Amino acid sequence: MTRPLIFNGFSMNVVSHIYHGLWRHPESRQVEFNDLNYWTDLAKTFERGKFDNFFLADVIGVDPAYKGTWDTYVREAVQIPVNDSSTLVAALIHATEHIGLTFTSSILQDHPFSFARRVSTMDHLSKGRIGWNIVTSVSHNAAQNFGFDRIVPHDERYTWAAEYIDVVYKLWEGSWDDDAVLVDKTANLYADPSKIHRIHHASQRYKVLGPHLSQPSLQRTPLLFQAGSSRVGRAFAAANAEGTFVMSLNPQGARKLVESVNAQVEAAGRRAGDLKYIQGLSFVVGSSEAEAKEKARDLDHYASTDGLLAHISRDLGIDLGLLDPDRPVAELDIEGVQGYIAYFEEANPGKRARVRDLGHALSYNTRIVGTPESIADALDDWRDAGIDGVNFICQTAPATYVDFVDHVTPLLRKRGLARRDYAETTLRERFFPGEGPHLNERHPARRYRGAFSRRAPLSTLSSAAS
């Protein structure tokens, strides 16, 4: 039986997210990002297309990372201004009925106790549709906004992340037993105190007694995403994530990545299939190949080289704006971009990638331009390579998404590449049909289920510990 792809609508609560400069296109409504109606319309488009999930990225700082200043980021709205993604997700709960709602939150920005309670509240209100994208942040300014002099070293951030998730896992999975809530009106007994537990967490950064103040939601723990591409980041995802966002250059590269990370998943005591691979892609749809290419040329007319390079400079930690824009990138020996150089040069025979080309190559390398039929063929190739779903990046919103839902989705359904309707209730069940709403027994968080029941129940602890 053909396995449908998972579809995430991917956005950010900003004017300009990935394809910088295109917010100026006449079709774009992205300047309406402060208006809830804009987001509600977008979410309803995704539900009309039976998308599985609406995923919102986020950042919590802006560094002077391009041409020595932050001016380009502000001038061209390169992910600033940016509003909080979890607040938007909370606002969309009532405006949607089926689609999953996933937000990004860094270990920097919220104490794990208050974060766990907020997530449980949202999962209750949405009837189990919440996901969390776990990030460690790369920005010095992000760290400075939360009381630090600079961001901690890369590998140390993942040590911190492991400590952070340990706290929330204990709260979500271990603080309340499955049968703690009774709702017995006759006996005036809502919950059994002996089945609610302190977690007694103490570690380098956090000391949390508990209990979790929210009763377990439908999922208990939200669906967990993580997008790290480094060695340490992939190991973290292999051990903890249920979905990972990837940006492979082509299906062949995706196949190698999936095989490599699946080996890490199994080494962590889980099974291949416990982690879903969600590939970032964008689409330009035309009734003919010529029309699609013409639409792509029109969109590209609005692209900003400075905006694209500013985004990449921040992500690479290298100020490309201080380099000669015509210098060949291969001469720079920048770790991590050689694959993108190869992609650019394969697409442009005889042409060496220059600094000015890098931003375009990094943003456009996974854009598919074509008819519904050719796009469906390409998605079939990605699925055959082991990709489980698509993180759908827009060029103009909502037009990019509307084109796809109206013209591509019906064909994908005929081919078995997209869902026809919603069946499962929770977001986790949508990603893992037939496996129930909770984390499976192989996930490390499950070790906390029942782990605290051996301690004194909440009702017998001294008032000094309250």
For residues 154 and 230, the answer to whether their CB atoms sit within 8 Å is yes
Interstrand relation of 189-191 and 181-184 (parallel, antiparallel or unpaired): antiparallel
State what percent of residues in the chain have pLDDT above 90. 78
The total number of structural domains in the chain stands at: 1
User: Does residue 97 register a pLDDT over 90?
Assistant: yes
Q: Looking at residue 461, what is its pLDDT?
A: 42
User: CA-to-CA distance for 253 and 259, rounded, in angstroms?
Assistant: 10
* Residue 358 resides in a domain: no
* Residue 349 or residue 355, greater confidence: 355
- The DSSP bridge partners found for residue 226 are 134, 244
* Residue 346 resides in a domain: no
Range of the domain at 204: 6-291+369-461
* Residue 425 resides in a domain: yes
The rounded Cα 17 to chain-centroid distance in angstroms is: 13
* Residue 121 resides in a domain: yes
Condensed to tens digits (0 to 9), the pLDDT of residues 170-206 reads 999 999 999 999 999 999 999 999 999 999 999 999 9
Q: Looking at residue 453, what is its pLDDT?
A: 83
Give the helix/strand (H/E) hosting 402. helix 399-403
State what percent of residues in the chain have pLDDT above 70. 93
Backbone dihedral region for residue 434 (phi beyond 0: left; psi -120 to 50: alpha; all else: beta): left
Give the Å distances, CA to CA, from 204 to 109, 135, 162, 346: 17, 19, 11, 49
Residue with tokens 């009702």: 459
* Residue 338 or residue 30, greater confidence: 30
CATH number at residue 266: 3.20.20.30
Interstrand relation of 389-393 and 223-226 (parallel, antiparallel or unpaired): unpaired
Give the helix/strand (H/E) hosting 408. none
Q: What is the pTM of this model?
A: 0.93
Q: How many CB atoms lie within 10 A of CB 251?
A: 18
Q: Looking at residue 342, what is its pLDDT?
A: 61
* Residue 307 resides in a domain: no
Condensed to tens digits (0 to 9), the pLDDT of residues 249-258 reads 889 989 999 9
* Residue 40 resides in a domain: yes
* Residue 192 resides in a domain: yes
Q: Looking at residue 344, what is its pLDDT?
A: 65
* Residue 450 resides in a domain: yes
